[in-house]
Every structure is written in C-alpha cells, then in structure tokens.
Chain A
Amino acid sequence: MSGVAVSKDHEDSPRAQEDLVVLSGVNKHFGALHVLQDIDLTIGRGEVVVVIGPSGSGKSTLCRTINRLETIDAGSISIDGKPLPAEGRELARLRSDVGMVFQSFNLFAHKTVLENVMLGQIKVRGTEKKAAEAKARTLLERVGVAAQAEKYPAQLSGGQQQRVAIARALAMGPKVMLFDEPTSALDPEMINEVLEVMQQLAREGMTMVVVTHEMGFARSAADRVVFMADGRIVEQASPEEFFSNPRSDRAKDFLSKILHH
C-alpha cells in the first residue's frame, strides 16, 4: 500500500513541479526607468500565480514580457522549456500558446462575438471554419455569453466583453493564460461574473498569471502570491501566509492600504 503511494507520488511530483514559465535574471528599462530588476520567477504547470503591487511597480510589464509584447534587455524567459524566440514566425507560434486578457478587453470591434473567438483559430491555427465555430460556441457557452454570439462587442456590457476576451484566448488552447487587471475597467456589479470564470479556469488546472487588485480572488484561487514593488519581486508566498504574515515592510504597507479601504 505504502509502496503504491510512494510510486504514485513519484509519478505526480515531477508533473506538479514541472516548470512551465521560467524567467531568470530579467531586466528591462524604459529609457532611464529600470522597470524590471533581476526578476527570477518560475511558474509550474497548473499553477495560479497572482501578482500584486503598487501602481507603476512593473506588473503589467512583467506580464507582457512573458509573450514578448515587451522585449527585455537582459535575462532569459522560457516557456515549456523553449526560450522565447525573437520576432518572426516562431514568436507568433509561441504567442498563440500564451493566452492574454487585457484590462480594456480589446475585442475586434468589426467582428461579431463569435467571429472574435473564431478568428485566431482559423487564421493562426488553420482550424477549419466548422470546427472553429463549434469550439467558439462551446467556449462562449462556458463563459456564459452564448446568447450574444451574433452581436458586436460594442453591444455587450463590459463584463460580457471580458468573458468573450477570455473565450477568445482559450480558443487557441493556450498552455498558460496571462491576465492583466482583467476586472479593473469593470463596474463593480460585473467584476464577479468575470472572476467566476477565472475561478473555474483555475479549478480546471489552467496555468495562470493574474495581475489583480482583487484580494478575494487571490485568497481563494491563487497557489502563490507574488508581491512587486519598484520593479522587483519583493516577496512571494502562499496567499494564506502572505495575507496573514507579510514579511517585508513594503508588503505590509501595501496591504494595510488596500485592505483598509
């Protein structure tokens, strides 16, 4: 019995700890501003990492370097064992494996909701139209906007648009999903509908990097909280540990500000 348990452990543990996204020694400047300073961050497959920190600390930039929407000056980033390629076809392929959800939704305004979710599948993955549509409808169902499939983005509420944006990213079958403040542009009553979709994704085992100010989400869905300030990762810990016992003064200060609001 114990032998079985041990061998099962052996099978499981490498998978659970398998590194999917690895940043090491990443540095980036915007002119004189050193936005990312010696960032070392490893995200395991299936792990949900929430990134928090004060405004301007480099959270968005960090997120965007992972699919090379921002280039880096030094260090290395690899995804699923492969280093990020330079500009070109290889990079495009890698980007298609990294889903990204933006604060401002960024749906294609001239395409219907359904077409938004089909476009990448057809043009990037080369999926057939029928199959792409079927997948799109399934995903729209999953995020709860199937009824809006034929509408244009401008006809949807912010919460609905953001859920479509999540479906659009999921349609590529990404290995990891990046969320950059996905609920910050939403009216309060719409925040939960988006967070629920994200919770569900997390439960299903999606690897996620989430920049957010939603501490409730961090508490309930995150495996790890990464706290950034001034371009550095100041500390990282499990949510329970981080919220109950932050070690750095920066983190204590930050938490006291956002939690006593």
Chain B
Amino acid sequence: MFDFLDSGQYDLLGAFWVTAQLALYSAIGSLIWGTALVAMRVSPVPLMRGFGTAYVNLVRNTPLTVVIVACSFGLNQTLQVTLGGDDFEQIGFRLAVLGLTAYTGTFVCEALRSGINTVPAGQAEAARALGMSFTQVLTLVILPQAFRAAITPLANVLIALTKNTTVAAAIGATEAALLMKEMIENEAQALFTVFGIFAFGFIVLTLPTGLFMGWAAKRLAVKR
C-alpha cells in the first residue's frame, strides 16, 4: 500500500520542507507587517490610520487565492518583479511569501488590536506623562502587553497560515499541496492513504505551534 512511497518518485519530505519554510518566512513577515499595520491603526496621524484601516479591510476580505495570484500575475508577469529569485520555482516561492504576508498581516493586525484593547488606557497615559514618545509608549508599554494577550488568537492565525500555504501551489511553489495533487493523479488507487499522509504532515506542522502557543499564553499572561 505504501509501495509508491519507496519508489523515490515523490519527494515528500522535500515538499513539506518547502511548506514549512513558506509558513516560517510568511509567519515572520506577517508578524512584522501586522505589527506595523496595528501601529498605523492606533497612530495619532489620520493619514496612517486611514491607510491601515483601508488596507486591512480590503485585503482581509479578499480571498487568499486572489491575493496570491495577483502577486504572481500582477507583480511578476506584468511588472516583472522577481524579488531577486533566479528561476521559476524560487520566484514562485518568494511571491507566495509576499502574498501570504500581505494577507496574514491583516489577521495579525486584528489579533493585536484585540490585545491592545486589554491594556488599560491609563497605562498609556501614565507613559505619556513620563515623557515617552508615541513610539515608546507603543513599543515599551502597549505592544508587549498586547502580544501576550493576543497569543491565543495569534496561534490561530499561524495555524491558518500554515494551512493557507497550500494556496501557493496555485503559482507553482513546489510545496506539499502541489505534490499531493500530483500523487492523487498518479496514485488514484491509494487516494485515502495520500490524504492521510498529507493531513498527518500538516498536523505535525501545526500541532506543536498550537501547543507551544498555549503554553506561552499561560506562561506570559500579564497579571491584572
């Protein structure tokens, strides 16, 4: 039943490695971009707030496939953006990271915003009264507490991100879903085995994230 796995025809580990990398780079990217977005959304500058709000509402409500395909067609094929990638595979990977970051950043932003709402406004006021700048108030007082309060929603965002990497197959990133499609075509007799393998692979990637974040949420909770 698992014979086709021994043939060496399918690089399962390699495909999941690409998935893991996609997830990791996009996670880092979207945490940074989401933090920047939430900073804009709470900033005292109306233009920044407007941009942050518009961006989040636009991108969050666009299907991920559209965002990813837009990166591929719009950026790469129309504007010739390669993000420094050399071949088709590399370009696809980088564009996928960009698209996933642009999309997931909005969810990180909203998770953080819910975290910010748990920080009593008086603390920001006290920080301002000490003479801190807006950036200092945000980075020293608000965000450290917001991150801790947002760990659980952030875990959900990261797990969703890991699964969303499968959409990158649409633009040719050689990740797990692309391989699965290929295997389903070639190994129709072992359909459920193939499904099982890929489901298991994703659980291996996401379960530790969930467990770790759950542990971290308890560990880092701010006592009030």
Q: Do A and B come from one complex?
A: yes
B122 close to A (CB within 8 Å): yes
B218 contacts the other chain (Cβ, under 8 Å)?
no
A260 contacts chain B at the CB level, 8 A cutoff: no
Binary A-proximity of B107-132 (CB < 8 A = 1, otherwise 0):
00000000000011011011111111
How many residues in B have their beta carbons less than 8 Å from beta carbons of A? 23
Contacts A119-B140, A154-B223, A155-B223; A106 near B130 (Cβ below 8 A): no
Given the known inter-chain contacts A104-B122, A106-B123, A154-B223, please indicate yes or no for A92 contacting B144, CB distance below 8 A: no
- B148 on the A face (CB < 8 A): yes
Q: Does residue A100 face the partner (Cβ distance < 8 Å to B)?
A: yes
B141 interface residue, CB < 8 Å from A? yes
- The size of the chain A interface, using a CB distance under 8 A, is 33
Contact A110 B125, beta carbon cutoff 8 Å: no
Give the docked Cα–Cα distance between A169 and B133 (Å).
16
Majority SS at the chain A contact face: mixed
Is B132's CB under 8 angstroms from A120's CB?
Answer: yes
How many Å from the CB of B106 to the closest CB on chain A? 26
Chain A 86-115, CB within 8 Å of chain B: the 1/0 string?
010100111111111010111111100000
B224 within 8 A of A: yes
Q: How far is the CA of A87 from the CA of B127 in the complex (A)?
A: 15
**Per-residue contact bits, chain B 37-54, to A (CB 8 Å; 1 contact, 0 not):** 000000010000000000
Which chain B residues border A100 with CB–CB below 8 Å?
126, 129
Residue of A123, A153, A169 touching B132 (CB-CB under 8 A)? A123
Chain B interface secondary structure, helix, strand, loop or mixed?
helix
B residues near A207, Cβ cutoff 8 Å: none
Cβ–Cβ < 8 Å partners of B132 in chain A: 92, 120, 123-124
> Does residue B36 face the partner (Cβ distance < 8 Å to A)?
no
Q: How far is the CA of A155 from the CA of B222 in the complex (A)?
A: 11
**Residues of A that sit less than 8 Å from B by CB:** 67, 69, 87, 89, 92-100, 102, 104-110, 119-120, 123-124, 152-155, 165, 168-169, 172
Interface, chain B (partner A; CB < 8 A): 44, 119-120, 122-123, 125-133, 136, 140-141, 144-145, 148, 222-224
Other A-B pairs, 20, CB within 8 Å; known A95-B130, A104-B120, A124-B131: A69-B128, A87-B44, A92-B131, A92-B133, A94-B131, A95-B128, A96-B131, A100-B129, A107-B126, A108-B123, A109-B222, A109-B224, A110-B144, A110-B145, A110-B222, A123-B132, A124-B132, A124-B136, A153-B223, A169-B130
Closest 6 CB pairs between A and B?
A96-B131, A154-B223, A106-B122, A106-B126, A120-B130, A100-B129
| CB<8 Å pairs between A and B, sample of 18 | A69-B128, A69-B129, A92-B131, A94-B131, A95-B128, A95-B129, A96-B130, A96-B131, A104-B120, A105-B122, A106-B126, A107-B123, A108-B123, A109-B123, A109-B223, A109-B224, A120-B131, A120-B132
